[in-house]
Amino acid sequence: MVPTRLADGSIEALKWLGLLLMVLDHVNAHLLGGRVAPMYAAGRVVMPLFSALLACNLARGTPGAAWRTARRAVLFGLLATPAFWALHGSWWPLNIMFTLATGAAAIALLQAGQPLLALSLGLAAGYVVEFWWPAIGATVAAWAWWRSPSWRSALAWCACMSLVCLLNGDAWAFAVVPLVAAAARLPVRTRRLRWVFYAAYPAHLIVLWSLQ
């Protein structure tokens, strides 16, 4: 992860890209039977991208921002749960909002000087959330990088992402690196819409559920 900072507009632009890729991936998975390989590959970038952007925002904010983000993610994760369970046919794992909420809460605990609590939370929640422990670890490692770049945080992020790639069966998750690098070098102006990306998650799952 070469970039050390992103402009606000670039972060918003990457969020829109992530939202588009997420919708394409879920349309492929739930309406097209997962038969469109490019749409599947695009979807493998979504979690790493939103994880990195969440970490970037929290690295620039206050400890209170991390707790607010965690609570917000839990709220919209709960709103998405009925449609998510119906589409997947199982309650396990909990949807990606809970994964991001766990990462944000772990970061909040680290900011508060509670590393053992952060580790305990990550270990416990990792069993029941999407992408499990590697995604939580990648979010925390990305936060450490954005906060104070070092080879340790970069190595930790790469290790977690390698595990994500093993889960996915491909290496498309690492495509987030050139995307973020390009955004860092080509800043754009994009209006910030605070709640859109949270609300879009349950909304698009409900639409897919109804279409299915």
Region 17-28: mean pLDDT is: 98
pLDDT at residue 187 above 90? no
21 Cβ contact partners less than 8 Å away, ≥ 6 residues apart: 42, 43, 45, 46, 49
pLDDT, mean over the chain: 95
**Average pLDDT of span 165-187:** 94
Helix H, strand E, coil C: the string for 66-113 is: HHHHHHHHHHHHHHHHHHHHHHHCCCCCECHHHHHHHHHHHHHHHHCC
Residue 115 lies in a domain: yes
Q: How far apart are CA 25 and CA 43, in angstroms?
A: 5
Whole-number percent of the chain with pLDDT over 90: 88
Question: For residue 146, how many C-alpha atoms fall within 13 Å in the half-sphere facing its CB?
Answer: 24
Is 108 a domain residue?
Answer: yes
The confidence score (pLDDT) of residue 63 equals: 73
- Whether residue 162 is contained in a domain is answered as yes
Which amino acid makes up residue 132? Answer: W
Residue 66 lies in a domain: yes
Token pair of 70 as six digits: 């965690």
Question: Is residue 212 within 8 Å of residue 30, measured between CB atoms?
Answer: yes
| Residue 3 domain flag | no
Residue 210 has pLDDT above 70, yes or no: yes
pLDDT at position 35, please?
95
Per-residue pLDDT tens digits for 64-119:
999 999 999 999 999 999 999 999 999 899 999 999 999 999 999 999 999 999 99
Q: What pLDDT is stored for residue 188 in this prediction?
A: 82
Domain that holds residue 184: 8-211
Tell me whether residue 136 is in a domain: yes
User: So what's the pLDDT on residue 3?
Assistant: 59
pLDDT, residue 1, reads: 44
Domain total in the chain: 1
pLDDT bucket at 186, cuts 50 / 70 / 90: confident
CB 175 within 8 A of CB 45: yes
In a domain, 202, yes or no: yes
